[in-house]
Amino acid sequence: GATLVGAGAFNLFDGVVDHYILNLHDVVHGTQAFNPHWVGVSLLLLGVGLLVVTRNRRP
C-alpha cells in the first residue's frame, strides 16, 4: 500500500509540475496527448494505495 502511495504521489508531482507547470518533458516525446493519462493513472495509484493503507490499519 505504501509503495503505491509513494509511486502515485511521485508520478502525480512529476505529471503536474514537470509536464504542465515547468513544461520540461512529455510522457511521449513530441506530443502532450498522454500527459492527462499519466496524471490519471497517478491519481489511481495514489487512491488505491491510500485505500489499502487505511483498510489495513483498522482493527
Average pLDDT for 41-53: 96
pLDDT confidence band for 59 (50 / 70 / 90): low
Query: For residues 57 and 59, what is the distance between their CA atoms, to the nearest angstrom?
Result: 6
Residue 11 pLDDT > 80:
yes
pTM above 0.85, yes or no: no
Give me the pLDDT at residue 56, please. 84
